[in-house]
Amino acid sequence: MPWSTSDGSSSIQGEEGTHSLQASAHTKSLFRGLLDEKVADLLHFMVLKYRLKEPFTKAEMLKVVIKKDKNQFPVIFKKASKCLEVISGIDVKEVDPKIHSYVLVNSLDLTHDEMHSDDQSMPKNGLLAIILGVIFIEGNCAPEENIWDFLNTINVYAGREHFIYGEPRKLITRDWVQENYLEYRKVSNSDPPRYEFLWGPRAYAEISKVKVLEFLVKVKGTDRISFSHWYEEALRDDEESRGPSWPLG
C-alpha cells in the first residue's frame, strides 16, 4: 500500500485516513539541535559511556560537559536524551534516583552497533529502524526514491556527507545490505534502472514489525492511532513467523 501521493509528498493510507509520514517539526528540531555545542558535547559523553557499557551520573555530566551551564542542564539533558533515542534507538534509564545515576539501553534489539563497539561514532540503529519501518508501510517492498523522500525530511541526503551517518548511500545500499539487514534489488524491467528495498533476513531475526512501528511513531511525533491499520498487520505478521537468532561474528 503506497504512501507517495501524486504531488510527491509522503503519506499513509490507513484506516483513519491519510496521515503524513514526514518527520514531525519536533523531530526535525532535534536534528538541528545536534548542532548546538552543549547538546553535542553531552551526546559525545553519553555515546562514550554507552560504548564502554558504563553507568554515569548527573554530577559527571555537570562536571565534564555542562560546566557553567547548570541552570540549563535540564533542557540540554532532555534534548540530548531525545536525540539519542531517535537517532540511535538508545533509551536513557535512571537506575538510582538518589544519586541520579543512569545507564543507556539499546531499545531496538538490533545488533548492528554491537559489531562496531570499538567505534566512537554515534550508533545508527535509529536510521536503520526508520528505513525498516518505511519498507513495511510500503507493503514490505519500498521504492528507493520513497526511502530518500522520507530521509530528506530529517536532512539525510544521498551523496551528501552527514555528520552522524557519514555518506548515507554507502551505509544503506552497501553496509546494511552486506550485513543482511536490507535487501537492495533492481526493479524488474525498469528502464532506466530503478531499485527497491526489502527487509533482509537479519532484520527479520532481530526485530519485530511492531517494535519498528513503535519507533516510527516516536520519530513522527504522533500516537499509535495514526498507524492502527499497520499495527494490526504487524501483529499478524509477527505472530505468523519469527526467524531464528542471527549469529554474530
Please give the single-letter amino acid code of residue 96: D
Cα 76 to chain centroid distance, Å, stands at: 21
Write out the three cell numbers for 62: 555537570
Yes or no: say if 129 and 207 are a contact pair by the CB < 8 Å rule: yes
Q: What is the pLDDT of residue 77?
A: 92
Domains of the chain: 30-107 (1.10.10.1200), 121-240 (1.10.10.1210)
Yes or no: say if 142 and 148 are a contact pair by the CB < 8 Å rule: no
Q: What is the pLDDT of residue 71?
A: 79
Q: Is 127 exposed, middle or buried (0-12, 13-18, 19+ CB in 10 A)?
A: buried
Quickly list DSSP for 15-68: TTEEEE-SPPHHHHHHHHHTTSHHHHHHHHHHHHHHHHT--EEHHHHIIIIITT
Q: What is the pLDDT of residue 69?
A: 67
DSSP code of residue 174: I
Q: What is the pLDDT of residue 12?
A: 41
Yes or no: say if 60 and 173 are a contact pair by the CB < 8 Å rule: no
The tens place of each residue's pLDDT in the chain, 249 residues long, gives 344 333 343 444 433 322 445 555 555 555 554 547 788 888 889 989 998 899 999 999 988 776 666 778 888 899 899 888 888 889 999 999 999 999 999 888 888 766 555 556 778 899 999 999 999 999 999 999 999 998 998 888 998 988 788 899 999 999 999 999 999 999 999 889 999 999 999 999 999 999 998 888 877 777 777 777 888 888 888 877 654 555 544
